[in-house]
Each structure stands twice: as structure tokens, then as C-alpha cells.
Structure 1
């Protein structure tokens, strides 16, 4: 699919002026999604050069420039609107991305990373949220190894390893036969153990 992305006239003028200031006339703009399909999902726009592209890249005519994106992110980018507004302190770029957080746009034909994200959001984070915790995909490594990162109440928690093996890994292995192992990529040493079950009450 080709995502429908709209720019206000002020946004088109703003980006065209930014591109005209670049020394390299080949510089273009790229819209991207971070943490797609999760509660942290959001979009951004950055400078980009087509020479750094891959076959997965595509582009649309934004009006005064071509806007590049990754084909696999098209569903998350659909419906994005971009505006450049004047504020009391100057100007601000307002980017609305209604589908960036949506797991609904992920299906069996989606990339493995997106499908893993959907299971994490719908099958696992709904339970971890009871303790203020969350887990998200960090990367997929060679050999089917999936690295995850814990956050919230699971960051620094003494039960994180048990949660990883008994809940997260067991669920992902059930859903995805190509996964061989699930590992924790979180740096728990800088966590504060915000949730630890206690056997005795804490003195006031």
C-alpha cells in the first residue's frame, strides 16, 4: 500500500526551504516510525539521501519535494498529517500519526518484527502492566534469537529473568516456530527495582 500523508502549506514551505539550504542537492526527506505498533509508537522526519537506500524504500510526491519511507512501515504511516505552526516562542512542527501505535495494522503478512510486537502488546504487556511493567522488541539476531528490553516496573526488577523465561519466551515460542531463543537486552543495573514482591510488610 501507499500511505496517505498530508502536509499543510506552511509545512511544505518550511521543508522546501530547509532542503534549498542544503549543500548537497541530492538530499531528501524521510518519514519514519519508531516503536511501531506499541504505546510508544511515533513518527518523525529527517534528512536522508537516496544513495543510502535499499529495495525496501519507496517515495511519494509531497508537493514540493519527494518524501521517502520504508515500505514495511506504510500501514503505520497511513493518515499522517504534518503542520508547521507559529507559537508564542517561535514555530513548532506538529505531526499527527493516528496509526503509529496501532497493532491492528499488523497481520500475518507483516514483517516478523511487527508480528512479534503485536504479540508483545496484546498477549504480554497487558499482564505486565498490572505491575507497571512493559517489554518491547530490541532486535532480531542471527539464528532466530530475539532480544527484548524491559521497561517500567520490569526495569531493574529481580523477577525479570523469571518473567522472561516463563511468560515472554514461552509465549513467543508458541507463536513463532522460527524463534530459537529469547534474551534480555535490558541494562537492569541502572534500574531501581520499582516492583519487587515482598514476603513481609515494609515498616512505615
Structure 2
């Protein structure tokens, strides 16, 4: 009885941002929990493609508590399923679609990665209440234009600059915000790529 009450209190807190706990064995556990949500048809299709499915029965609806999506960490977790790039892409599509459907509202988004989550059909509704965004300037400008259209109440934006060229999308995203309270720009440009003067 005490354990059940304790779990009902702690699980929602831990699952607000399950990606932030850097424990090595945690990746397999997270992968197992996430794949447990996939439908039997999808699991069967993924298994036929040679993708590892570790689905287990779940005691809670964990993803319903999640308010944070970190593309880079989730992609790392997805790599457990297969080492083949095509299979990982297929698995990304299924898992990100699942996350956007199951997470009632996404408050924190880290898109320092490759998957374009804002183009999923449910993304508009889930991302409207986004509070914090971390991203880099290597992401296509059109992605930021779409994000600016969806999210206009972001309070914190952290942009990691990895590109010498200005990313017009990041400029538009910042301009569209009506409630921005914190902005941070971090330069991480590779010094070997900086060319000064004429050849």
C-alpha cells in the first residue's frame, strides 16, 4: 500500500523529464517502456524489419506525465532498436508520433538533433504551451518558421550557434515571441571553419 502511494506521488515527478537522468542502464529501461506503448501491429512490423522490441507491461501511463522532449537523447535511446540507419528512421517516426500523441502538453523542447517533430499532425496542439526551447542553428530555417507559427508564448530560448551564416528562422522565432523572459546565445562554431581574409 505504501509503495503504491509512494509510486503514485513520485512517478509523475520523475516522468516530467525522464531524459535528464544520465544513468547508463536507464536507456534500455526507457526504450522498453516507450516501445511498450506501440500497437501490436507496429511491434510486429518492427520485429520483421529486425528492430529490437523490448516492450513490457506497464504499471502506469508514464508518457502522460512527460512534459519534455529532448531529440538528441531520444535518438540515442532509439539507437538501441537497430544499428541500421533506415530502421532507426522508421523507429523515429513511430516513437516521435507516439510521444506527441501521448504527452498532453510539451513545456520543454530540445531540438539539437535531426528529427523534425513540429511537422507531426498533433504537434501544433501539443507545442502551443511550450515554455522553453533549446536548439542549434544547423536546423533548417523553415523548421523555425513553423515553430514561430505554432509557439508564441516561449519564455526561455537557448540557441547554440554552430553556423557562420545567420539563420533567418531563429530571428523570426524570436520576433514572434510575446512572453520571452530569458534568451541565451552560445557560440560553438568550429574554429577550423572560420576563414578570415582573401585566399
Greater C-alpha radius of gyration: 1
With the length of structure 2 as denominator, give the TM-score of the two structures. 0.34
**Larger strand fraction of residues:** 1
**Larger helix fraction of residues:** 2
Q: Greater RCO between the two (CA within 8 Å, min separation 6)?
A: 1
